Amino acid sequence: MIENSSNKLFFLSIISFVFFVVGVSPAHAWGQLPELRTDEGRGHIVFAALERGRIGYCLETGDASFPPADIELQVEAALKVWLVEVGDFLQAPVLIEKDCNRESLDLSVFVGPAEPGATNLGRHSLIEMDGRPVSRVSVNTAPSHGVRVERTNLFDFDPGLVTAVEKAAFLDHIRDEGLSLNEVASELGLATTLPLTASIYQTLIHEFGHSFGLCDAKEATYEQRCDRAFRSRLVPTSLMSISGALNLMFDDRDGIRAIFERFAE
Ligand SMILES: [Zn+2]
């Protein structure tokens, strides 16, 4: 509670001091994948966005409880979560199109049960398709993998979401308002955030961070998986370091901008 104007001034100066300190120290945890240096690294979709202004994606589903039309909406929304941060590097908004032609797709997405024994919620790799590298994301829907969570479809929590337009508007709302897990849970009347952390949508956002070229900013694997020359030093919270967020955090925004800055012209 600020009682008078001199207190107000004091608070303002504390706040500016904090911003000053944060501004001059490398308080970010993002890192970039080492393969961005290699020829295969051209499979990362930062290049599709910068050079062609278009990301063509192909979706394959292998789990009947996740309707392809729902997942397509979530794939497109999860790509936009990243792209809205880098609009100033682009001539025009990036076109996101369904494209299953092997010669022209940029991103191949699979949503379904992973191979037996897999413990991951999602996985990113670069694969070769007709001699060119393509970003591949697999989202595991199997309920019995290592962390034992039941994977969820965000739209299932709100019976009011029926049409594609309503569903897309709900995802836009989460993004435009920058809603946290808690806020979305309370809007949906959920008792805990757990079902949201198990949602396919949050896994897509994280894996697409890899598709653009960001590495896992988890402390345990940082040294092995991130390029020493393109990373920040500290490890604060980001959705590339924890799972469960439905929006980018400060560090993710800074990281995606650093990738576009590196490869733009
Ligand atoms: Zn990851």
Which pLDDT score, from 0 to 100, does residue 146 have?
Answer: 55
Which pLDDT score, from 0 to 100, does residue 23 have?
Answer: 38
Q: How many helices (H) and strands (E) does the chain have?
A: 9, 5
CA separation for the pair 5, 237 (Å, rounded): 34
pLDDT, average across residues 56-82: 97
**Residue range 171-230, pLDDT digits in tens:** 999 999 999 999 999 999 999 999 998 999 999 999 999 999 999 987 777 888 899 899
pLDDT band at 235 (very low <50, low <70, confident <90, very high): low
CA separation for the pair 98, 76 (Å, rounded): 9
Which pLDDT score, from 0 to 100, does residue 10 have?
Answer: 42
Average pLDDT of the chain, as a whole number = 87
CA separation for the pair 84, 88 (Å, rounded): 9
CA separation for the pair 118, 236 (Å, rounded): 28
| Å from CA of 168 to ligand 1 middle | 25
Which pLDDT score, from 0 to 100, does residue 1 have?
Answer: 39
| Å from CA of 123 to ligand 1 middle | 7
| Å from CA of 246 to ligand 1 middle | 15
| Å from CA of 16 to ligand 1 middle | 34
| Å from CA of 119 to ligand 1 middle | 13
CA separation for the pair 132, 128 (Å, rounded): 5
| Å from CA of 210 to ligand 1 middle | 7
Assess contact for 175 and 158: CB atoms under 8 A. Answer: no
Contacts for 163-169 with beta carbons within 8 Å, 24 or more apart? Answer: 164/69, 164/73, 167/70, 167/73, 168/73, 168/76, 168/77
Which pLDDT score, from 0 to 100, does residue 165 have?
Answer: 98
**pTM attached to this predicted model:** 0.87
Tokens of 26: 């490398």
| Å from CA of 218 to ligand 1 middle | 9
Q: What are the structural domains of the chain?
A: 29-263 (3.40.390.10)
pLDDT band at 115 (very low <50, low <70, confident <90, very high): confident
Phi then psi for residue 194, to 5 deg, are: -50, -45
| Å from CA of 200 to ligand 1 middle | 14
| Å from CA of 220 to ligand 1 middle | 12
